[in-house]
Structure 1
Amino acid sequence: MARNTFDQDEELSQEFNWSYYKRMGTYILPYKKPLLKTLIVIIIANMAGMLGPYFTKLAIDDVIPNKDYKMLAILGVIFLLSLLVIGYSMRYRIHSITEVGQDVLKDMRSAIFEHLQKLPFSYFDNRPHGKILIRVVNYINTLSDLLSNGLINLISDIFSVVITLVVMMMIDFKLTLYSLVLLPVLFALVMVIKKAQRKAYQELSNKQSNMNAYIHESISGIKVTQSFAREEESYQTFLDISNDYRVSYMKAVKIQFLLWPGVQNISVITTCLIYFVGIQGIGVNVTTGTLIAFIGYINNFWNPVINIGNFYNSLITATAYLERIFETMDVEPDIKDKPGAIEMPTIKGQVDFENVVFRYEEGRNILDGINFSVKQGESIALVGPTGAGKTTVINLLSRFYDVNEGSVKVDGIDVRDVTLESLRSQMGVMLQDTFVFSGTIIENIRYGKLDATEDEIIAAAKVVRAHDFISELKEGYYTVVEERGSTLSAGQRQLISFARALLADPKILILDEATSSIDTKTEELLQVGLQELLKGRTSFIIAHRLSTIKNSNRIFYIDRGKVVESGTHEQLMAKRGLYHHLYQSQYDLLKVD
């Protein structure tokens, strides 16, 4: 497995953008009431925290020299009460803000997951699924600390800094100015670190994404890895990618942790400066109580500043992840409801392709002016060489893509004029790679009609000949199947998907190689059920195994983006054209086998 498949870092060229946080604020806004309550509690706690140093000043300068034991006891009791208020406030703040933070994360994760449901197939085809998964899980989780502690604590710390400064200035204005003399050094340190830290965490998010993508694909392809005995090569590739992540992580945290010791050292130097200035009386004349109180207030000042610095660190770190999250959420679906789209009426089944031209890239038409009309209830088979445009036809009908020219109409209504949900909910699509969800078999079949009864589910399974093998399982319909139905055979998975499609009762049914994984004996049984499945509904069948389409009302032979032959099996065989040649080739191969 080539390593460079996963070593292609995603680049984001835009500069640091505060609008990300304004946008994140839209997820926080619904929780403004609990946040306001928490903020009030924090303000009360900060006010209580101001009492300690001031009481210390009073005690040292006045109460103790005057031997006023009663006042000393009163100050002690009030100080003890203030500590209880601070303790309760901290407990309330932690519980409240953690709950709000997790609710916000849940809303953001729900929003990005909902958006992913609307993105086109091309988005998932062009990206390793692990790189998509990491944005929904890991990157969202990375914001947890920022939301659970950071934002509300920032407000608390800013309020604490302001109140502390006001109190310090009321006590001694000049000494306060000495306390702030090193603030410019702090600002300079922040500006130096900011750019390097953001770049380092962007690189880290890339390496984390690469590793997640490789692990995801390695697990999905573990059977192939073991079949070719490539475990050692796979492990070596993982070690290389994991080491890239480790190097990036160490680089990022080294830069991140530069700020904390920087602020801590500035705080210690400031404290030493105040002691020196106060003791030497350089431009100030302060009492011992005032000096000790000031040291207490300096701690009250610098501790929040350190917290703000740590928050800023988290902010820069989170930005690298927010960029990835909002980049995904900003991807516009290629196919979406146009303004004023109407609900699709109950489909009868008339389908018309009128001068349809479609291309994935400029200059190469996949469908080139294709025209046909299908009546309600007709069964249409699409055959032809690989790449001729068969699957494109059904993708346009389901509106997974839009035509470049011409129109696709259902019951005379252009599919672009109706909502996607109202169109697709009345259509059933069964693919060669049948997907079975983890859970019970009955839940998988019920996916076609969520309010179906058990009797309806069993009836559908009997029609498509799935009931017999399900009944033989240990738990029957309540047998739990693993992810992607790995405990079932490919044929069994397809029979379950047939039952699911029949239960949904789609008005238009699309079968894209849906019987390819079913053995010949099962197929013979299924043909009876398949006729029941097709009865009364318009159907489009793509099949390379031509024996499965002989009973279709019409067969379209598609080549180079055009319908070059059409008719019943008998009519096309009589023409002795392309279809006859294709059928005869398969028949000869079967005779050889």
Structure 2
Amino acid sequence: MKPYSLQIFYVVILTLAGILLELLLPTLMASIVDIGIVNGDIPYIIKIGAWMILCALAAVGLTVGVSFFASKVAQGFGRDVRKTLFVHVENFSLQAFDKIGPASLITRSTNDVKQVQDVLNMILRMMTRAPLMLIGGIILAVSREPGLSVIFLGALPLLAILIFIISRKAIPLFVSLQKKTDKLNLLVRESLIGVRVVRAFNRVQAEKKRFNTANEDFRDTGIKVNKLMASLFPIMMIVMNFTSIAIVWLGAIRIDQGHMQVGNLMAFLQYAMMILMSLIMLSMGLIMIPRAQASVKRINEVLSMHQEIKDPDNPKVVKNGKGLVEFQNVSFRYEGAEKPVLQHISFRAEPGKTTAIIGSTGAGKSTLLKLIPRLYDVEDGNIRIDGIDVRDMTQKQIRDRIGYVPQKASLFSGTIAENLNYGKKDANEEEMKEALEIAQATDFVMKKDEGVHTFIEQAGANLSGGQKQRLSIARALIRKPNIYLFDDSFSALDYKTDAALRKALHAVTSDATIILVAQRVSTVVDADQIIVLNEGKIAGIGTHKELLANNAIYQEIVSSQHAEEAGA
């Protein structure tokens, strides 16, 4: 809020000025009745009436100013919090990201921030106005007619108790409502992302039932909250109306006894309404604040999560490094896991050579690759690039030297060119065409009317699995790094395209370090070094011929794949 201190100051000053003008109006009206009308003084009535009009117009102008600055502060605050959340989450390790989950992070960055933003706007416009009007109204009402002020001794405590009871009941419901919003978002996200699986397994009705259960649960909680809020205002109106009746009744008795003038009664009645309306405004704020508190707590849970992967205070710089990657007794486990995913991994991946990693599903192949760019940090041991521990380098320095192709091809909505620019910001069209040609993507890209400027739908929905994979490879190739990491990046390619791609790749990456994860033996057969992983441990290292001769696990993988091919 610090950047908006000046605007908040303007809100308070304008609110104060507007309230003073509004509090002046009943006094002016009382003067018109008690002096102008009683004495039949038309010029006096016109004069005071003109002042009333000017005060009312000025109060309207000041209220518009308050709304303008309050909206500016609230919208700016919302923008800043969303930006802070986004930047903070972008720096999370994958473990921290997985802990909260994408559905909840989306809700916290949008719905929760909106709740806080709306309440902030209301606080600036109403919660600053209500206390000032309440205090000013009480002072002027008591100073004008102390005898009638005893009515407030019954009305104000009654309203305060009512607000307290409803707020106490509302807070847990608002917290529950936000959690159920999370659950609803999660179900919608899962159903939309997995729509093909849902239909393929004929589970549409089951998903509808699952969604309806969560949706009705959300609805029921929302109804409970709205019932509480709906019950508040009728009760308040009853209290206000009975207060008005009491004031008029007692005031009429005092006028009849000659202790009070009609104008004074009218002014006192208006001050009473101002006091009670300010209490209603406060109650609205107190009802909305619990929901914002629940949202604030959820936002702070994200912001308070420490970045597990940090840059060192005094990072070391690699000068003229060629991309030598060394694993030295590396172990790693996911949070909450009973045993490590990787145990005592040691090997060297040298520049100009291809290191392939093969093994059964769940052996830890993809995890091993993710440790190199510090998407996760090792538990024991260390990973070195050109002799320097990756934890002694900045994340930017590490990742600028790596071309990473993930197991699941991730493309963003935009043109093919914009996706390739993720690899290199200033890449020109010639560089793009070269990368596409090596990745065996030229045939389908150039057949499109707009070539590299063809639009890709969200998550590459208008492309096949093989096309997405080849574009992901092209994106890594275009930056021409020292180290290439291919995480099962050829699985969606046919054997002919796979072979052509590896041949083209070998020609342009002869000086780089290539580490690739693969399931197919045909992909790793020409590698300079093959690492066989089994249950998170290295079961063998060597060339295809060496492992085929003396490694039982590798022999099983080769024979099983040959059997599958023969059967096919």
Alignment of 1:143-292 (within 5 A): 143-281=116-254, 285-292=259-266
Q: Is the 8 A contact 1:142 1:318 kept in 2?
A: yes
Matched, 1:133 2:106: yes
Partner of residue 92, structure 1: 65
**1:343-492 maps to which residues of 2 (within 5 A)?**
347-360=321-334, 361=336, 364-492=339-467
When structure 1 is superposed on structure 2, of 85-94 and 194-203 the one drifting more is 85-94
Q: After superposition, give the CA deviation of every residue in 1:61-111 in whole Å (9 maximum; x if it has no partner).
A: 112222221111111111111111122222222233222211111111111
Task: Give the partner amino acid of 1:565.
Answer: G
Question: Are the equivalent residues in 2 in contact too, given 1:347–1:426 (CA < 8 A)?
Answer: no
Partner of 1:301: 275
Deviation at 1:166, TM superposition (A): 2.4
Q: Where do 5+ consecutive residues of structure 1 fail to align?
A: 1-27
Deviations 1:356-390 (A, max 9, x none): 22233565233322222333333211112223232
The aligned amino acid for 1:322 is V
DSSP 3-state at the match of 2:511: coil
**Which residue does the alignment assign to 2:522?**
547
CA contact (8 A) 2:530 2:544 kept: yes
Contact 1:175 1:284 in 2 (8 A): no
What's the CA shift for 1:346?
6.1
Shift of the 186–483 alpha-carbon distance from structure 1 to 2, 3 Å rule, reads: same
Is the aligned partner of 1:82 residue 2:39? no
CA contact (8 A) 1:35 1:152 kept: no
Matched, 1:103 2:100: no
Instruction: Compute the RMSD of aligned alpha carbons.
Output: 2.3
Query: Residue type of the partner of 1:258?
Result: S
Native 8 Å contact 2:326 2:385 kept in 1: yes
On the 8 A contact 2:10/2:69 being kept in 1, the answer is no
**Separation in structure 2 between the aligned mates of residue 205 and residue 115 of structure 1, nearest angstrom:** 21
The answer to whether the 8 Å contact 1:353/1:408 transfers is yes
SS at match of 1:102: helix
How far residue 485 of structure 1 moved from its aligned partner, in angstroms, is 0.5
CA distance in 2, matches of 1:531, 1:435: 24
Deviation at 1:559, TM superposition (A): 2.3
| TM-score after normalising by structure 2 | 0.94
Who is 1:112 aligned against?
A: 85
Q: Deviations over 1:210-255 (max 9, x none)?
A: 1111111111111112222322222222222211111111001112
Counterpart position of 1:493: 468
The structural deviation recorded for 1:141 is: 1.9
Please name the residue that 1:337 is paired with.
311
Residue 56 to residue 436, structure 1, CA distance change in 2 (3 Å): same
Secondary structure at the counterpart of residue 267 of structure 2:
helix
SS of structure 1 residue aligned to 2:346: strand
Q: 1:84 to 1:342 in 2, by over 3 A?
A: farther
3-state SS of the aligned residue for 2:39? coil
Amino acid at match of 2:262: T
What is the aligned partner in structure 1 of residue 485 from structure 2? 510
Distance 2:53 2:285 in 1: 30
* Contact 1:349–1:377 (8 Å) recurs in 2: no
CA contact (8 A) 1:197 1:316 kept: yes
Aligned to 1:310: 284
Q: 1:68 aligns with which of 21, 24, 41?
A: 41
1:275-322 CA distance string (max 9 Å, x none): 232223399932221111100111222212211111111111222222
Q: How many residues align?
A: 566
Output the TM-score relative to the length of structure 1: 0.90
Cα distance per residue 1:1-58 (max 9 Å; x no partner):
xxxxxxxxxxxxxxxxxxxxxxxxxxx2211212222322222211111222101111
Q: Distance in 2 between matches of 1:403 and 1:216?
A: 31
Matched residues, percent identical? 29
Instruction: Name which of structure 1's ranges 436-445 and 221-230 shifts more when overlaid on structure 2.
Output: 221-230
CA separation of 1:53 and 1:538: change in aligned 2, threshold 3 A: same
Mark the CA change 1:408 to 1:153 in structure 2 (over 3 Å): closer, same or farther.
Answer: same
Counterpart CA distance in 1 for 2:72 and 2:306 is: 32
Partner deviation per Cα, 1:484-523 (whole Å, 9 max, x = no partner): 1011111111111111101122222111100001112222
- Which runs of 5 or more structure 2 residues have no equivalent in the other structure? none
Cα deviation 1:330-372 (Å, max 9, x = unaligned): 2233323355445666642122222222233565233322222
Out of 485-494 and 125-134, give the one that drifted further: 125-134
Bigger Cα displacement from structure 2, 301-310 vs 354-363: 354-363
Deviates more, 1:224-233 or 1:98-107: 224-233
**Alpha-carbon distance in 2 for matches of 1:343, 1:262:** 70
Kindly state the Cα deviation for residue 198 of structure 1 after the two structures are TM-superposed: 0.5
Counterpart CA distance in 2 for 1:67 and 1:447 is: 82
Q: Are the aligned partners of 2:316 and 2:388 in contact in 1 as well (CA < 8 Å)? A: no
Structure 2 residue identity aligned to 1:211:
L
Tell me by how many angstroms 1:327 deviates: 1.8
**Is residue 2:18 matched to residue 1:45?**
yes
CA contact (8 A) 1:263 1:309 kept: no
Say whether the 8 Å CA contact 2:349–2:515 is kept in structure 1: no
Q: 1:149 to 1:342 in 2, by over 3 A?
A: farther
Q: Which residue identity does 1:245 align to in structure 2?
A: F
Seen in structure 2, the aligned counterparts of structure 1 residues 496 and 36 have a Cα distance that, compared at 3 Å, is same
- Provide the C-alpha distance between the structure 2 equivalents of 1:153 and 1:32, rounded to a whole number of angstroms: 18
My pick for the range that moved more, 513-522 or 31-40, is 31-40
SS at match of 1:50: helix
For residues 395-442 of structure 1, what are the alpha-carbon distances to aligned partners after superposition, in whole Å with 9 as ceiling and x for unaligned? 222222222222211122111222223222322221221011111111
> What letter corresponds to residue 386 of structure 1 in structure 2?
T
Structure 1 residues 233, 365: CA separation in 2 closer, same or farther (over 3 Å shift)?
Answer: closer
For residue 538 of structure 1, what is the amino acid of its counterpart?
T
Three-state SS of the structure 2 residue aligned to 1:318 is helix
Once residues 176 and 495 of structure 1 are traced to their aligned partners in structure 2, the CA distance between those partners, rounded to angstroms, is 81
Shift of residue 257 of structure 1?
2.9
